[in-house]
Amino acid sequence: MEVLKEGLLKVDPGLLLWTIITFIVLLLILWKAAWKPIVEALDARSEKIRGDIEAAEKSRLEAEKLFEEHRQMMDKAKDDAQQVIADGKNDAEKLKNSIVEKANQEAKDMVERARKEITLAKDKALTEIQAEVVTLTTEIASKVISKNLNPDDQKALVEEALEKLRTVQ
C-alpha cells in the first residue's frame, strides 16, 4: 500500500489545482483559436455534402427525365416505323390493284378488239358470200334464160349453186 500512498494514485492538491487551471486555459485557447475553425470546417463539409446530395438528386431527376424523353422518342420512332411499314403495304396494295386493273382493262380491250376483228371478218365474209350469191344467181338466171328448163333441170341448177356456196364457206 505504500506504493498507493506515494505512487501514481497519490492526490496532490497543488498539482490538481494547476492541472485544472491548465485544462481550463487550454480549453479557452482551443475555444478561441481552434474550436471556431473546426466547427466552421465541419459546417462547410456538412454544407458541401448537402450540396452534393442535392446535386446528385438533381442529376438523378435529370437522368430520369432524359430516360423518359428517350423512351418516348423510341416509342415514337417505333410508331413511325410501323406507320411507314403500313403506308408501304398500302402503297404496294394500291400499286398491285392498279396493275391488276390495268391488266384487266388491257385484256378487255384485247377481247373487244378481237370481237371487232371477228365481226369485221364475218361482215367481210358475208359480203363476199353475198357477192358470190349474186354472181351465182346471175349465172343461174342467165342459164335459165338461155335454156328453157324443166323442173328437174331447175332443181339441178339450184343444187349446183348451193354446192358452190358450200365450197365458198
Encode the chain (169 residues) as per-residue pLDDT tens digits: 455 556 666 777 888 899 999 999 998 888 888 888 888 899 999 999 999 999 999 999 999 999 999 999 999 999 999 999 999 999 999 999 999 999 999 999 999 999 999 999 988 888 888 777 777 777 777 776 666 667 777 777 777 877 777 776 5
State pTM to two decimals: 0.41
Tell which residue, 119, 134, 143, has the closest CA to residue 168: 134
Provide the residue ranges of all domains of the chain, joining segments of one domain with +. 34-168
The full length of the chain comes to 169
C-alpha cell at 34: 481552434
State in Å, rounded, how far the first CA of the chain is from the last one. Answer: 163
Phi, psi of 72 (to 5 degrees): -65, -40
Yes or no: say if 165 and 129 are a contact pair by the CB < 8 Å rule. yes
Yes or no: say if 148 and 127 are a contact pair by the CB < 8 Å rule. no
